[in-house]
Amino acid sequence: MSKFEQKISRVMSLVLRHDPGSIGLQLDENGWAGMEELIECLNRDGKQVDRGLIEKVVAGSDKQRFRISDDGCAIRANQGHSVAIDLKLEEKLPPEWLYHGTVAKCMRAIEREGLIKGARQHVHMSVDKVTARKVGARHGKPVVLEVGAQAMVRHEYKFYQAENGVWLTEHVPPDYLNQRFSS
């Protein structure tokens, strides 16, 4: 992905997950924005995009952050929203272990409170340590936490999986953080 495409991807993440109003965009109750409306709003904001560029950004997203509707008329972020939307996620049985990437400076709070969703709708986890390490590395020296997902299910915690494979839950109490891996 070119630097310009990366920039557009970051802008799309911002407006489709956190602040659609910053460019005058409106999301529906399920997080969808009209494709043409997104293009118009981005162009009005000085970004100079077209459908081809948006489709290239969606296809080139290493984390598959976005989804275009089957009819091609709408687009949304797959997960990570801080705006209130309903992704219509169905509860799903997770694997035995999931992994969450963070940084050392957050560990005291995590040991005290567990993993909290903060401004987002869910805590995000992956099925492998490599992905979790990449997530943590965005903010400093990464620490990978192992989450006892099956133990949580046995205690009636719910899990969901976004369309891009990211696992989601409301909260992970510290007792389910069984191991810590530094890298």
Residues 96-127 pLDDT 10s? 999 999 998 999 999 999 999 887 889 999 99
| Residue 169, strand partner residues | 123
Q: Which fold has domain 3-77?
A: Arc Repressor Mutant, subunit A (1.10.10)
Task: For 94-110, give the secondary structure using H, E and C.
Answer: CCCEEEEEEEHHHHHHH
Confirm whether pTM is higher than 0.75.
no
Q: Which residues contact 81 (CB under 8 A, 6 or more apart)?
A: 17, 18, 31, 87, 120, 121
Helices (H) and strands (E) in the chain, counts: 6, 11
Options 1.10.10.10, 2.60.40.10, 3.20.170.30, 3.40.50.300; which CATH number does 97-182 get? 3.20.170.30
Question: Does 97-182 match 3-77 at the fold level?
Answer: no
Count CB atoms within 10 A of the CB of residue 139.
12
Domain boundaries, the chain: 3-77, 97-182
Six token digits for residue 123: 């805590």
8-28 pLDDT tens trace: 999 999 999 999 999 999 999
% pLDDT > 90, the chain: 73
Terminal alpha carbon distance of the chain: 27
Q: Which residues contact 96 (CB under 8 A, 6 or more apart)?
A: 148, 149, 150
What is the 8-class DSSP label of residue 122? S
48-105 pLDDT tens trace: 999 999 999 999 887 788 999 999 999 999 888 888 888 888 999 999 999 999 998 9
Closest residue by Cα to residue 145 from 182, 93, 173, 105? 182
